[in-house]
Amino acid sequence: MGKISEFCFLSKSSVQILIRTAQRKDAEKIIGINKSILKEEMFMLRNEDEADYKTEAVENDIEHHLLNEGCLYLIAENGDSMAGYLEFSNGIFKKTSHAGMLQIYLDNKFRGDNIGFELMKTLIKWAEDNPLIEKITLNVFSTNHSAISLYKKAGFTEEGRCPRDMKFSDGTYADSVLMYRFVK
């Protein structure tokens, strides 16, 4: 089951952050972060007009992660404010269950404060201890230099690129950068 023991740490700016396993009650705050990031257009696949987040769907996704041994859903929060979250899901078939993909989202005001790195470290430790998980993968826009730097700092290696995979509303393109890290 995808759970961790919660813990606190001080961010680079000396803000106390709690990292814990997501619960169904977190759905509205997760949706809030997603909507905030959508406005930036540069970090998510969807545009604002394509997003139709439903609380029940997010609650069910959290529940799925809680019940499946190859999944993990983490929350980073400062008091009542959600700083961000990390979602990891392994493959559903026997041939792919040893590997999974992560997604990480941080509220703009908490970026660059080492919270993303702490979420990544927590996932990596959980995956190292999980007998099922051997490989963590992710996709990131080539234009998201701070995220790529974070992933490299956490030990991820570029696996490949999908050229001009994303097209923004201004007509510019970004590659999808595929990255991985083995944990066993």
d(C-alpha 147, C-alpha 117), whole Å: 10
Structure token digits, residue 40: 């930036």
**E strands within 31-80?**
71-78
CATH code at 88?
A: 3.40.630.30
- Residue 41 is predicted with a pLDDT of 65
- The answer to whether residue 81 sits within a structural domain is yes
Query: Is 158 within the bounds of a domain?
Result: no
How many domains in the chain?
1
Residue 180 lies in a domain: no
- Whether residue 97 lies inside any domain: the answer is yes
Chain segment 53-69, per-residue pLDDT in tens? 789 999 999 999 999 99
Residues 176, 162: Cα–Cα separation, whole Å: 5
- Torsion over CA of 140, 146, 149 and 150, rounded to 10 degrees? -80
Q: Is pLDDT of 49 > 60?
A: no
Residue 36 in any domain: the answer is: yes
In a domain, 89, yes or no: yes
Domain-located, residue 149 = no
Is 85 inside a domain boundary?
yes
Nearest 5°: phi and psi at 15?
A: -95, 130
**How much is the pLDDT for 43?**
63
What distances in angstroms separate CA 18 from CA 14, 49, 75, 98, one per listed residue? 13, 32, 8, 28
Q: For tokens 């041939």, name the residue.
A: 95
* 129 or 2: which leads in pLDDT: 129
Token pair listed for 81: 């404010």
Sign of CA dihedral 164, 45, 137, 154: positive
* pLDDT for the residue numbered 38: 75
Residues 132-171 have pLDDT tens digits of 999 999 999 999 999 999 999 999 999 999 999 998 888 9
Domain extent for 101: 7-133
Measured CA to CA, the distance from residue 77 to residue 131 in angstroms comes to 28
pLDDT in tens, 83-128: 999 999 999 999 999 999 999 999 989 999 999 999 999 999 999 9
Whole-angstrom Cα distance, residue 138 to residue 179? 5
